[in-house]
Amino acid sequence: MTENFYTNYDYNKERTQYSIQAINEAGIKTEQLALQFANWDKELTKDFINSLFLKYDGSIEAVIANNDNMAIGAIEALQSYGYYKGDKSKNIIVVGFDGLQEAKDLIDKGMMTGTIVQDPTTISEALYKIGMNLVNRVDPLENTNYKLGKTGIEVEFPHYAYIRKSNIL
């Protein structure tokens, strides 16, 4: 008997896949230069961006991070190469996910392009309802308004984009 476990790596990979798919479906052509699992960590991301920048200097147009921590790490690394220091030509689109206040502050300053925010109250309510269903040994989504996402194993939650009005995606 084998069991499949849904790991952080799998989740990260799928979040990346669907992010790129959404961008392409919006009519924006993408070329993936690199993909790195940075374990949701700012410091790992900084190290990766430093090595990536040395290899692809001038070719990087955007960084899509699967959480705001990694997006912030990318911005910190890019700052060491003169980005986000006032020269409008020295900006790279950086987007994250989570809606952290630090990310929102960077967006408001024009250093980060955007983030996806999920309502913590909605997430808490869903975790409670689904958790109680599991404790009571009924279908996890019974008597809820939640639906499974595209993979069939994650629950969809409402979310919204937080971007600076002058940012163009």
**pLDDT grade, residue 101 (50/70/90)?**
very high
User: So what's the pLDDT on residue 129?
Assistant: 93
User: So what's the pLDDT on residue 35?
Assistant: 79
All structural domains of the chain: 8-118+158-163 (3.40.50.2300)
Q: What is the pLDDT of residues 103-142, one digit of tens each?
A: 999 999 989 999 999 888 888 898 899 999 999 999 999 9
Question: Do the Cβ atoms of 34 and 16 come closer than 8 Å?
Answer: no
Q: What is the pLDDT of residues 56-81, one digit of tens each?
A: 877 888 898 989 999 999 999 999 98
Tell me the C-alpha distance between 162 and 95, whole Å: 10
Q: What is the pLDDT of residues 25-48, one digit of tens each?
A: 888 888 888 877 788 889 999 999
> With 50 as the cut, is the pLDDT of residue 54 above it?
yes
Helices (H), the chain: 8-25, 42-56, 68-79, 101-108, 120-135
Higher pLDDT, 154 or 117: 117
4-8, 18-22, 105-109, range with the lowest pLDDT: 4-8
CA angle at residue 155 from 152 to 157, to 5 degrees? 140
Question: Do the Cβ atoms of 106 and 72 come closer than 8 Å?
Answer: yes
- Cβ contacts of 64 within 8 Å, gap of 6 or more: 16, 19, 20, 23, 95
Tell the burial category of 168 from Cβ atoms under 10 Å away from its Cβ (0-12, 13-18, 19+).
Answer: exposed
The pTM for the full model equals 0.76
